[in-house]
Amino acid sequence: MNLTLKIWRQKNSKEAGNFVSYNVTDISADMSFLEMFDVLNEQLISKGEEPIAFDHDCREGICGMCSMYINGRAHGPAQGTTTCQLHMRKFKDGDTITVEPWRASSFPVIKDLVVDRSAFDHIISAGGFISVNTGNAKDANNIPVPKDNADNAFAAAACIGCGACVAACKNSSAMLFVSAKVSQLALLPQGQVERETRVLNMVKQMDEEGFGSCTNTGACEAECPKEISVENIARLNREYLLANLKK
């Protein structure tokens, strides 16, 4: 498989970037997208050129670091798939593939395809935790949880914080991410202590980080690699309204 890659190159956050075209040859359809990038970087290094900077860690669809905007879609053309789990069989021989970093003011570009997503860390620090007594592990059935609540909390907890929802939203909204983290804890008994303060503090921090408001178009759910439901956004809105009423 021979491909043309148009890749965003940017030296740092202060300098302007631009697209640079590269040709890669003999790419196996069984390679992952990141493995294809490894091949390209090896070629660049062998020619004395600077390799392309991109984020990766687990390469198992867990860590959320492989944030690339591929042909106009967050994480590429495969539904419910991270970039590291995207395989080259999704493309055709001779294709031109455009690769960009997330485009959001709250995710400033560090270099090439690497963006600073520490804004998500700030939101989690504002309320994404619970207060419990430490000690020995409790029995699994020590605190009964209704199955629907447990299932919904587990589904929300699948969020890996990759930022695809922000990248897909025309307002660069982080509502899907924040709602997943709020829902995960609001649905469980362990999360009740900070239930009101959590949602107020996390939404406040989200706004302070410069994320936009929800567009209600559902682009976030469509591009989320873990297919987090927008129902969580409705739950976040209810939690926020009730917390303000109680306050």
The answer to whether the CB of 60 falls within 8 A of the CB of 48 is no
| Residue 131: pLDDT band with limits 50, 70, 90 | confident
> Quick one: which of 162, 165, 172, 240 has its CA closest to 201?
240
On average, the pLDDT of the chain sits at 94
Lowest mean pLDDT among 29-38, 129-138, 168-177, 194-203: 129-138
pLDDT of residue 142: 80
pLDDT of residue 139: 76
Fold match, 3-110 / 117-246: no
The contacts of residue 161 (CB under 8 Å, 6+ apart) are 64, 117, 120, 124, 177
Domain 3-110 architecture:
Roll (3.10)
A 10 A CB-CB count for 102 gives: 24
- pTM attached to this predicted model: 0.92
pLDDT of residue 134: 66
Considering the chain, what percentage of its residues have pLDDT values greater than 70? 99
Fold of 117-246: Fumarate Reductase Iron-sulfur Protein; Chain B, domain 2 (1.10.1060)
Q: Please name every residue paired with 98 in a beta bridge, in sequence order, or none if there are none.
A: 6
Q: What gap in Å lies between CA 92 and CA 78, rounded to an integer?
A: 14
Name the residue ranges covered by the structural domains of the chain: 3-110, 117-246
